[in-house]
Amino acid sequence: MKARRHELRAAVGFLLPNLLGFLVFTAGPVLFSLALSFSNWHLHRTIPFHWIRFGNFVELARDREFWLYSINTVYLMLGMPVAIAGSLLLAILLSQRLRGIVVYRTLFYLPTFTSGVALMLLWKALYNPEFGAFNVVINWVLDALRVEAVVRALGGAGVSAPAWLLSTKNLLGLEVERVGTAAGQWGLGARDALIIMGVWIAIGGNNMLLYLAGISNIPTELVEAAQLDGAGRWAVFRNVTWPQLAPTTFFIVVMSFIGGLQGGFEQARVMTQGGPAGTTTTLAYYIYTKAFEEFQIGYAAALSWVLFTGIFIITMLNWKLGGKELSY
């Protein structure tokens, strides 16, 4: 008993610094922000502090910008399945026993440890409407296939390469100022540009490493048994590799959802300042704007908690729907 108490004291002693740090710098602020979300706290001292119960949340439901930026946030996550599939494909390729495979792995992982701002500036140049690599290729293809002439002959208005970061257009035709779609908004624009960049960064990132680790943990006897039974590459992948990677995929999906819903701040700040016309403003960027540019701390706290609740519900749904399959 005495030994146990001694052990407990030692454990608490070792844990205390971390625990105190967690309580003071994480749990405390989180609870404080929850309390603030029920207040009208504003940094302007002419606005007296009041507890307003659910006032911020009611206001939020009526806030058109909140809905528009929520849509932007979700839209920017559309690249997620492609990024995950790309990571898996890359991990499979990089798990082959090839000469110099370590060099390839390092090269593909490079974007992850390169400065985000530097990457974004590079992509900004790639998206230049006339001289950027994307439009040079697109224009070359359009010229070679005489697409412009064909479209005009068919009575269309012509075809031009997208203006990328300068355009409010998007693949779903989402409107700029209200929740809905419009034919004139269909095309490629700033939001799609950010998705493409996000996919490129994510493919060779941590997801690829996780898949690599997952693949290396698949028992070779399972693969060999399948091959002995006459299974081809696709059958091995479908019946052995993919099911064995289910826990990894589940983890990646959950983390991608969380990251996606919280994301978009850095890109918006560096590449578009949330524009054009607010089309690349995400919820994270909106929270920053409300708290630190407009000083509506209470409202920003409410926004943060709505975002947290959204993330929490989606994560729970993921667990509920995806967790069942995890029997490995």
Partner 1 sequence: MRAFFAATFCALAALSGIAWLIRPAPGREGATPLVWVSDDNPARREQIALFNELHPQYDMRLDPTAGMEKVILQCLAGVGPDVFDCFNPWQLDAFVRSGVAWDVTEELAKRGVNVEEEVWPAILPTAMREGRVYGFPANVAVDALWINKDLFDAAGEPYPEGPWTWEEFLPVAKRLTLRDERGRPKQFGFLCDWWQWPQFIMQWGGNVYTPDGTRCIIDGPEAIGAIQFLHDLMYKHRVMPTPVDEAVMATQGGWGSGTITHFGAGRGAMALGGRWWLCTLRDYEGLNLGVVECPHAKRRVFRAYGRATIVNAHSPRREQALDFLLYQAGKEYNDLINRQADAVSAVIRYTYTPEFLHNPDHPEEDYNEVWREVIKYAQTDDTSPFINGQTASRIIERQLDLVKNDQKPVAQAMRDAAREVNEAIAKTLEMDPELRARYRELTGRDRP
| Binding stretches for partner 1 (CB under 8 A) | 40, 42-48, 125, 128-132, 163, 165-168, 176-177, 275-278, 289, 292-295
124's CB contacts (< 8 A; 6+ apart) are 165, 270, 271
Residue with tokens 């995806």: 322
Lookup: tokens for 79: 């690249």
Residue with tokens 């492609």: 82
Q: How far is the CB of 127 from partner 1 (least distance, A)?
A: 8
Dihedral angle computed from the Cα positions of residues 316, 321, 327 and 328, in that order, rounded to the nearest 10 degrees: -70
Q: How far is the CB of 296 from partner 1 (least distance, A)?
A: 8
**Shorter beta-carbon distance to partner 1: residue 45 or 97:** 45
Lookup: tokens for 113: 């440890």
- Spell out a b/e string for 249-273, using b for 16 or more CB atoms within 10 Å of the CB, else e: bbbbbbebbeebbbbbbebbebbbe
41's CB contacts (< 8 A; 6+ apart) are 49, 297, 298, 301
Residue 192: CB atoms within 10 A of its CB come to 21
Residue with tokens 């399959």: 325
**Shorter beta-carbon distance to partner 1: residue 40 or 241:** 40
Q: How far is the CB of 128 from partner 1 (least distance, A)?
A: 5
**Shorter beta-carbon distance to partner 1: residue 126 or 218:** 126
Bridge partners of 174, per DSSP, are: 181
**Shorter beta-carbon distance to partner 1: residue 224 or 294:** 294
**Shorter beta-carbon distance to partner 1: residue 44 or 320:** 44
Q: How far is the CB of 44 from partner 1 (least distance, A)?
A: 4
Q: How far is the CB of 276 from partner 1 (least distance, A)?
A: 5
Q: How far is the CB of 313 from partner 1 (least distance, A)?
A: 29
**Shorter beta-carbon distance to partner 1: residue 2 or 45:** 45
Bridge partners of 181, per DSSP, are: 174
